[in-house]
Chain A
Amino acid sequence: MSEATPREPATWSDPHLQPAAKHPDTVEGVIGGLFFAGFVLFALFGAAFWQNWAAWTLGATLGGGMLLIGIGITAWGKYLMPRGPFVEERHELASSPEDVQAMTNALVERGAEPVRRRKLLGGLLAAGMGVFGIVALFPLLRSLGPKPGTTLDTTDWAAGTYLVDAFGRRVNANEIGVGTAMTVFPEGLQDTDRGQGVDQTFLIRAAKVDIQGMQNVPNGFVAYSKVCTHAGCPVGLYERALNLLVCPCHQSMFAVLDSANVVFGPAPRPLPQLPIAMDRKGFLYATGPYPEPIGPGFWERS
């Protein structure tokens, strides 16, 4: 390698410098046409935006213009640029033994100790892992979000809270027929994030004869938390004839007529049941909060 003969200087007659295309002038014309068409499409994109044309014309003109110009640039590089291959000479990379010895002597003369290879690598590894661990702490702490506060343990349901639908209207037991299902919220909170997230409750009217063994089911009305005990998805799929509540995320199934016991799927416990009652006019209200925390389990859940 060290005996490399200097190459002759390149000339225009060198075949390495000729373009790949047989007819470069034709290719040049085609590429020019592609560029021109691409810029016309960009102009059309501007016109489309300016004139409020349909959304797909925006994407078609902008994307088409970029595609044509990209094809043109690639074709330029492939067919018009010098063909190559080109070789660039360079000197040998490794130091000569004399240079290595001189370097070692210089280091020892200044009092440096030879560094042990394994020790160095171990130190580097420890430092790297340490930095990585510190860096990993920041997104971890940051991504935990705000503290949950009392959300995990309690909801806004309390004794005397009336059930309302999504439009804030109280639920009257006399209007709701057997087989009806609806999502209810604590009165006044139907439009809030907390009301729609934590407090959402699924109200079902079942036939009286079917739920004789259950508590807090006035006239066949039964109310369960809509937050799945597995991963917190809204359990809103009510199968009337099968009397099943199905969670759309992982297909947990809860038996409506059997205290929402889990009959299938990964949910670890039944949906908590909201105790409800009817007032004199037939409006439904909660007689107390949920008897247990709703939603998925967590570490301190008692």
Chain B
Amino acid sequence: MHRRRRHHRSLAVGAMLGTVALLAIAPFATAGAATGHRNAAHRPPSHVIPPQNPEGYDAYNSGTPDSSIRIFNKKGQLVVYGDSAVLYYAPQYLQGLPPGEQHSTAALYSLGQALYQANCQACHGPTANGVPFPHKAGQQPRPGSPGGYPDLQVVGPATIDFWIESGRMPATSTQDTQPVRRPARLDHLQAVAIETYLNTNWPVTPYVPVVNLQGADLADGATLFSLNCAACHTITGDGDALANDTFAPSMRDIPATQVAEALRTGPANMPIFTGNLTDQQLRDVVAYVVDKIQHPENPGGAGLGGLGPVGEGFVGLALGVGLLALIGFWIGDRS
């Protein structure tokens, strides 16, 4: 924030002059404080071989494996793709797993297999193909209708990661219209293990996105947010009700990776933003969410939950009119 040069004259004299001069322009006064917090820089894994076919790859980088960065392991399996804004990791290559153990793919696989059988298999089945949702002949099954369970062979690690790490899976009830975010019942390592187990048996993208928030364009992020997100999640990101007992959840306290996963995979009723958002745009909107939406500046003081005219009107009526009534009584009362 820019501070003007302090004058050596008495502050009080200047303040009195300022009082007179500035009473009229008070409504235009603003104050801004820009704060930034960024994730630690991330780097591609060093234990994999570099891209095998780097020449002339004209990729659009919109969350599909057709990306400008593609890294394969020694067996020729795609383990990382993306670009400088977002890298999509196969689960066993994710970094930041708790240290002290050897997290080889084989160890993760066997841990994931055990966890899958204990937590997921009852509904999604031993081969993870779920139970088809009831649907009319010749039509796609409708995800979310009771009696069916999603086919986990086709959804990809990003989807599995989102649902487990946001606490929605394993589910507490099979009758929920829309599961809600809860404290995760499986920790990060367990989630990665289950993803490794599923992705080893049925490899499919999208992988888990890791967003490099550095260099994000918050203005573009705000434009994309108001265009694509605000319709359902509201312009303050607090969420709102939708049709048929569904709702758009609040965006507070959601880690950047889960915001990116939700955009790329479209949980439940959310549209899938693959192809129409580049990785750079994804980074911009994720940065806007974790920076501005989750840390609103509220220059007027209390944000009142971002509920808009309802909350503000209630406070205005209860406090403002109440206070005015008390003052009115005091003025009108005969002493």
Please give the residue numbers on chain A whose beta carbons come within 8 Å of chain B beta carbons, in ascending order. Answer: 20-21, 42-47, 49-56, 58-59, 62, 74, 78-79, 83, 165-166, 171-172, 175-183, 204, 207, 209-210, 212, 234, 236-244, 246, 248, 251, 253, 264
Contact between A182 and B3, CB atoms less than 8 A apart: no
| A239 in contact with B243 given A55-B31, A183-B227, A209-B138 (CB within 8 Å) | yes
Smallest beta-carbon distance B257→chain A, Å? 20
Q: In the bound complex, how far is the Cα of B144 from the Cα of A264, in angstroms?
A: 20
Contact between B144 and A241, CB atoms less than 8 A apart: yes
Contact between B300 and A240, CB atoms less than 8 A apart: no
Contact between A56 and B301, CB atoms less than 8 A apart: yes
Residue of B15, B20, B33, B143 with most chain A CB atoms under a 10 A cut-off: B15
Question: A47's closest neighbor in chain B, by CB?
Answer: B15
Mask of B212-250 contacts with A, CB within 8 angstroms, 1/0: 000000000001100110011000000000111010000
Contact between A237 and B246, CB atoms less than 8 A apart: no
Q: Does B331 contact A (CB under 8 A)?
A: yes
What 5 pairs between A and B have smallest CB-CB spacing?
A: A46-B18, A46-B19, A236-B231, A47-B15, A179-B272
Q: Does B310 contact A (CB under 8 A)?
A: no
Q: Does B276 contact A (CB under 8 A)?
A: yes
Q: Which of B1-59 contact A (CB under 8 A)?
A: 1-4, 11-12, 14-23, 26, 29-31, 33
Question: B133's closest neighbor in chain A, by CB?
Answer: A241
Contact between A239 and B274, CB atoms less than 8 A apart: no
Q: Does B134 contact A (CB under 8 A)?
A: no
Q: In the bound complex, how far is the Cα of B330 from the Cα of A165, in angstroms?
A: 60
Contact between A62 and B26, CB atoms less than 8 A apart: yes
Q: Does B299 contact A (CB under 8 A)?
A: yes
Contact between A240 and B231, CB atoms less than 8 A apart: no
Choose one: B1, B17, B276; the contact of A165 (CB below 8 Å). B276
Chain A residues closer than 8 Å to B224, beta-carbon distance: 166
Choose one: A47, A175, A234, A253; the contact of B275 (CB below 8 Å). A175
Chain A residues closer than 8 Å to B243, beta-carbon distance: 239, 242, 244, 246, 251, 253, 264
Question: B143's closest neighbor in chain A, by CB?
Answer: A241
Q: In the bound complex, how far is the Cα of B273 from the Cα of A182, in angstroms?
A: 8
Apart from the given pairs A20-B335, A166-B224, 16 other A-B contacts in the complex at a CB distance below 8 Å: A45-B22, A50-B14, A56-B299, A56-B301, A175-B276, A176-B275, A178-B272, A179-B266, A180-B274, A207-B140, A209-B138, A212-B138, A236-B232, A237-B231, A239-B242, A242-B246
Chain A residues closer than 8 Å to B231, beta-carbon distance: 234, 236-237, 248
Q: Does B271 contact A (CB under 8 A)?
A: yes
Q: In the bound complex, how far is the Cα of B331 from the Cα of A59, in angstroms?
A: 24
Q: Can you list 21 A-B contacts with CB-CB less than 8 angstroms, sorted by A residue number?
A: A43-B15, A45-B26, A46-B16, A47-B11, A47-B18, A50-B4, A50-B14, A53-B31, A54-B31, A55-B299, A58-B26, A166-B223, A175-B275, A176-B276, A180-B271, A180-B273, A204-B271, A242-B244, A242-B269, A253-B243, A264-B243
Chain A residues closer than 8 Å to B274, beta-carbon distance: 176-177, 180
What class of interface size applies to chain B in its complex with A? 35 or more
Residue of B223, B266, B299 with most chain A CB atoms under a 10 A cut-off: B266
Chain B residues closer than 8 Å to A180, beta-carbon distance: 271-276
Please give the residue numbers on chain B whose beta carbons come within 8 Å of chain A beta carbons, in ascending order. Answer: 1-4, 11-12, 14-23, 26, 29-31, 33, 60, 62, 64, 138-140, 142-144, 223-224, 227-228, 231-232, 242-244, 246, 266, 268-276, 299-301, 330-331, 335
Smallest beta-carbon distance A235→chain B, Å? 9
Contact between A237 and B242, CB atoms less than 8 A apart: yes
Residue of A78, A166, A236, A240 with most chain B CB atoms under a 10 A cut-off: A240
Chain B residues closer than 8 Å to A242, beta-carbon distance: 142, 144, 243-244, 246, 269
Contact between B275 and A177, CB atoms less than 8 A apart: yes
Q: In the bound complex, how far is the Cα of B275 from the Cα of A178, in angstroms?
A: 10
Residue of B1, B19, B232, B300 with most chain A CB atoms under a 10 A cut-off: B19
Chain A residues closer than 8 Å to B4, beta-carbon distance: 50-52
Contact between A79 and B227, CB atoms less than 8 A apart: no
Chain A residues closer than 8 Å to B223, beta-carbon distance: 166
Chain B residues closer than 8 Å to A42, beta-carbon distance: 19, 23
Contact between B276 and A51, CB atoms less than 8 A apart: no
Chain B residues closer than 8 Å to A49, beta-carbon distance: 18, 22, 26, 29
Q: In the bound complex, how far is the Cα of B335 from the Cα of A21, in angstroms?
A: 8
Chain B residues closer than 8 Å to A244, beta-carbon distance: 243-244
Question: A85's closest neighbor in chain B, by CB?
Answer: B334
Contact between A239 and B300, CB atoms less than 8 A apart: no
